[in-house]
Structure 1
Amino acid sequence: MDVELRVVRSDDAARLAALLTQLGYPVQEPEVTERLTYWFGDPASLLIGADVRGDLAGVAALHVIPMLEATGRWARLAALVVDERYRGKGVGRSLVEAAETRAREMGCRYMEIASSRRRVQAHRFYRSLGYEDVCERSARFIKYLLR
């Protein structure tokens, strides 16, 4: 499959809304348009799109965070979504590899991916790319500040 990787643009909002809805986060285009403004304005964040014959087939959301406890930065794949029609065809792999390349270029020591325990297929996919589930040795705590 011929996949062109590119930066997500503001005119991708409607298609991105459809992708996020497929991922289980129902959203409308105006909300995505608003979210894109703060993604585009953040120099530590990047939205990578996978274009297949003019169709936005998937998106990887990358965020880079500086480290204090060690020299360098680390990256977080904040979101990864591939349209159902393109899953299993290398689109997700291309997006993750592009995110990893960009993270390396920005001096990141490692990449983190958080994924709901119910996404068993996604976990197999991440393992196939060399990612390790570290929940046994590293806890993740969340406190909601706004609802």
Structure 2
Amino acid sequence: MAIRIRPVDRHDTARLVVLLDQLGYPTDDADVHERLTYWLHDQASVLLGADDAGELIGVAALHVCPILERTGRFGRVVALVVDDRYRGQGVGRSLLTEVERRARAAGCIMMEVTSSVHRDAAHRFYAGLGYEDTVDRSRRFIKPLPPAGESPRR
């Protein structure tokens, strides 16, 4: 298997639908097409794909954020998924290695990734690549925002 890491583009829409479903986020072509509209033009973000003979078999989404309290930026892996037929063959490692390379080139001094509590295999994967679980030192708080012009619901 000769994996090539390359940018994701609109031709990958159908495969992205499959991969996002495998990650646990069912979607459709129209929604992925809309998301690609902002992802592909965001200067602080990159979508990388793992390609096997023209088939997208994995994707990694990186967003680079400036840090105010320290000098530098941090890279956030927003999504990482490998087609279940290819897991355990080094595809995720290849994607993450390229994401980290690009993050360093963008001035990142650290990486961040979040993973649902039930994804034990993913946790072992990240730990094996040097990522530290910091749940005992920090928390993640999320607040949904209503669309612009709508009042918040309480």
Q: TM-score band, normalised by the shorter chain?
A: over 0.9
> C-alpha distance in 2, partners of 1:41/1:31?
16
Distance (whole Å) between structure 2 residues aligned to residue 146 and residue 76 of structure 1: 24
Pair 1:99-2:99 in alignment? yes
1:9 aligns with 2:14: no
TM-score, reference length from structure 1: 0.98
Higher Cα Rg, which structure: 2
Query: Partner of 1:61: helix, strand, or coil?
Result: strand
Greater helix content: 1
* Amino acid aligned to 1:140: R
User: Over residues 57-96 of structure 1, what are the superposed CA-to-partner deviations in whole Å (9 max), with x where a residue is unaligned?
Assistant: 1000000001111111001000001000000000000000
Letter in 1 for 2:56: L
Q: Percent identity among equivalent residues?
A: 59
What RMSD over aligned residues (CA atoms) do the two structures have, in Å? 0.9
Q: Which residue pairs with 2:58 in the alignment?
A: 58
Partner amino acid for 1:132? Answer: E
Secondary structure of 2:85's match? helix
2:75 corresponds to which residue?
75
DSSP 3-state at the match of 1:86: coil
Runs (5+) with no aligned partner, structure 2: 148-154
Distance 1:137 1:73 in 2: 20
Q: After superposition, where does 1:1-147 map in structure 2 within 5 Å? A: 1-146=1-146
4+ aligned runs moved over 4 Å, structure 1: none
- Aligned pairs, how many? 147
2:150 aligned residue: none
* TM-score (norm: length of structure 2): 0.93
Residue ranges of structure 1 left out of the alignment (5+ in a row): none
